[in-house]
Amino acid sequence: MRVYCNACGSKGKISGSPRFSGDISKHYCDCLNVECGHRWVATLAYSHTLRKPTTSVDQRLLERLSQLPKDSQVRLIEQLEAMQPGPDHHQVIAPQLSLLHHTA
Ligand SMILES: [Zn+2]
């Protein structure tokens, strides 16, 4: 993002991390004109969305999970596997599938 000094019109530089407050972020700026030396705070505000973000629920979940400690990740995977139908379920389904192929 390009910023300009409102005192001398020279290019400015954003320094440091922005401070967020809801949909508004404040950016510390320095004028690149050494003879000016102006420092100021610029405000950037969210207006409206033009295209929805591509990050899916899956991606956000994966990011959250990757931040968990390793043992928590392993425990969650074990819980998920316990919720999935086991090999018994597959054996029940398999004859029905072969029946379908036979009649088709
Ligand atoms: Zn300036």
Asked if the model's pLDDT at residue 38 lies above 70, the reply is yes
Asked if the model's pLDDT at residue 40 lies above 70, the reply is yes
Using the mean position of ligand 1's atoms as its centre, give its distance from the Cα of residue 26 in Å: 19
Q: Tell me, rounded to whole angstroms, the distance of Cα 47 from its chain centroid.
A: 19
Q: Is the pTM of this model over 0.75?
A: no
Using the mean position of ligand 1's atoms as its centre, give its distance from the Cα of residue 7 in Å: 5
Beta-carbon count within 10 A of 69 CB? 8
Using the mean position of ligand 1's atoms as its centre, give its distance from the Cα of residue 57 in Å: 44
- In this prediction, residue 88 carries a pLDDT of 57
Kindly state the tokens that stand for 16. Answer: 């440091």
- In this prediction, residue 57 carries a pLDDT of 77
CA-CA distance, 89 to 98, in Å (whole number)? 15
Asked if the model's pLDDT at residue 94 lies above 70, the reply is no
Using the mean position of ligand 1's atoms as its centre, give its distance from the Cα of residue 22 in Å: 29
Mean pLDDT along residues 6-26: 94
Q: Which residues pair with 31 in a beta bridge?
A: 12
- In this prediction, residue 33 carries a pLDDT of 97
- In this prediction, residue 8 carries a pLDDT of 98
Using the mean position of ligand 1's atoms as its centre, give its distance from the Cα of residue 17 in Å: 21
